Amino acid sequence: MHNHEEKTSRDMIQALRDGDRQVLRAVFMRYHRSIYRFLWLRLRSAPEAEELAQEVFLRFWDTRAHLSRNTHIEQQLYRLALAALSETSPQFDDRNTQPLLTDSSSKQAFTGWNILDRHALLLHEPVRSVLFLRRYENKTYHEIAAVIRTTRRGIEKMLCQALRFLEEATSPPREHKAHGWRRFFHPEPANIHQLFLCWQEGRLSRRQEKRLKRWLKETANRQRWQRLQSLWTDLRCPPVQETTPVSVQWLRFENRLVDDLAADLATEKKQPIRSVHQSFIYVLAAAVLLIVLFGFMARQWLLAPHLTSVIVKPGEQQTVLLPDYSRAELNSASSLQYPENLATDFRQLFLTGEAYFTVSPSPLPFEVRTDAGLIRSQGAAEFNLRARSGKAELYVQSGELIIFPSAAPASHADTLTARQWARFSASEFSIIPNAQPERILAWRKGELYFEDTPVREALADLGRHYGKIFYIASELDSLRVSAHIRGKSAEEACAVLAEKLGLSWWKTRYGYAIGRR
């Protein structure tokens, strides 16, 4: 950090100690986005991150008298953000980590996140914070050490742990170690990850450069070194979900400052002395209000439909007999919710994933709601519905279905009849010609069909089908694949796709990877 920046930070801290609101506004406008991004990467929720960022700056202002002039303002804000995270959600280190790898939940939006970013979420604290600050925020070792309150050597050790974990999670097992005279002349350095970090920083000594050159003479070592470079390059900051402009956030923050000041002034005023009779009336009124509120909430709870949830794990399938004698066959990594009084009052289900429905006849319409829209059947019908990430595909085996896209006007609806296949989202609807039922419904027999499918989408289907993780580097996302997987193990399926793509495959710590070796 430059000397003039440190001097500016010291001057701003002195002005903040004196209660200068203009300096506070400048600090807020300059550092709010960085703090919000840091919090969002942990919470993955824009409203929660915005609210916690407000709390961080409120604490910063409330503790302005104790700000250190020797530590940069941004580093002190990061310290407050870490403290707020640990206090608000003590278990944030392990929240929503393992499900991110299989992409089995459509409730969380991770558009633009590659598999390395998701593996990074599995790191423990403070290793994860160190990796985020170094790779996503581009902070120096000195700046990170000031935030985490450790030494530069400690930061380097944590980065080595993160690199080792990510390499083991996404790389093939190293079964090609040098032996005999090769191992004698080209020994592996004691800590290749530390050597890689020094090389990234341009801090290699002459002795380290000589050892690295000798080690890289082996083809397998050069390939591993290239994988480390690719891994470090692929670790980029995912797109952050931003909802409210910084200027609006400042207005909200300023209003909170005024409210807090008014509350402090109100508490400082002398409270009027109330009689025992007045106090009794206030207590009685509060008790009556609580009883009325509790009765209203109990009535709402009793009248609301109680939902039954069915969750199918990756690698499994399940058939559910519904209360109205309809049937739902759920594919892997799918969930279904339906009310207990489905047969009498309310025939609406909520689906995430893929299912084949056999609808029994009833005077009540049968409805399935997804993120993309609502599907309604007025009578007996059979249909296959696949709904993931805001998009849906619907194939009608028999009967007639009405589709209401969620973003379309209430009066707008599309109709599908038997043997028709359609793809729709919240605002779009299109019929796919030449429907092939044997391919659409192949999953019911444990088979998978891919017809010019994007490779990442195909690997996601494989992950759900086998309950494993299938990884491919981001530079290969443009590839498409056509294949038929039937009666094969996860390894055999991975080998088939790799052969179709003209690539290699190998086992990783959590599953399988496809790429160039």
Check whether residue 172 and residue 45 sit in a common domain.
yes
For 376-426, write each residue's pLDDT tens digit: 999 899 999 999 888 999 999 999 999 998 887 766 888 999 999 999 998
Which pair of structure tokens corresponds to residue 316? Answer: 């499994």
Please name which of 124, 170, 126, 117 lies closest in space to residue 151, comparing C-alpha atoms: 126
Structure tokens at 333: 């990594």
Q: Which residue range is the domain that position 480 belongs to? A: 446-515
pLDDT, tens only, 28-71: 888 888 888 888 877 777 888 888 888 889 888 888 888 888 88
Domain-embedded: residue 100: yes
Highest mean pLDDT among 9-23, 120-134, 429-443, 464-478: 429-443
Q: How far apart are CA 468 and CA 433, in angstroms?
A: 33
CATH number of domain containing 509: 3.55.50.30
Q: Which residues contact 25 (CB under 8 A, 6 or more apart)?
A: 250, 254
Torsion of CA 499, 500, 506, 509, to 10 degrees: -160
CATH number at residue 366: 2.60.120.1440
How large a percentage of the chain has pLDDT more than 70?
79
Residues 159 and 33 in one domain: yes
Backbone phi, psi, residue 420, to 5°: -105, 150
Does a structural domain hold residue 252? no
- Give pTM, 2 decimals: 0.47
Q: Are residues 38 and 116 in the same domain?
A: yes
Query: Does residue 207 share a domain with residue 326?
Result: no
Looking at the fold, whether 227 and 311 belong to one and the same domain comes out as no
Identify the residue whose tokens are 């400690």.
154
431: enclosing H helix or E strand: strand 429-432
Cα(484)–Cα(442) distance, integer angstroms = 10
Same domain, 293 and 388: no
Q: What is the CA radius of gyration of the chain?
A: 29
Q: pLDDT digits over 221-230, tens only?
A: 888 888 888 8
Q: Is 423 within 8 Å of 385 (Cβ atoms)?
A: no
Domain total of the chain: 4
Structure tokens at 279: 């106090």
**Residue 324, Cβ density class (10 Å: 0-12 exposed, 13-18 middle, ≥19 buried):** middle
Asked if pLDDT for residue 90 goes beyond 70, the answer is: no
Whether 109 and 219 share a structural domain: yes
Task: Classify strands 327-330 and 348-359 as parallel, antiparallel or unpaired.
Answer: antiparallel
Whole-number Cα distances in Å, 312 to 34, 371, 490:
38, 18, 19
269 in any annotated domain: no
Rounded to the nearest integer, the mean pLDDT of the chain is 80
Count Cβ atoms below 10 Å from residue 507 Cβ, excluding itself. 15
Instruction: Say if CB 401 and CB 381 are below 8 A apart.
Output: yes
Structure confidence at residue 302 (pLDDT)? 56
Give the domain-ending residue among 234, 266, 285.
234
Q: Tell me, what DSSP letter sits at residue 430? A: E
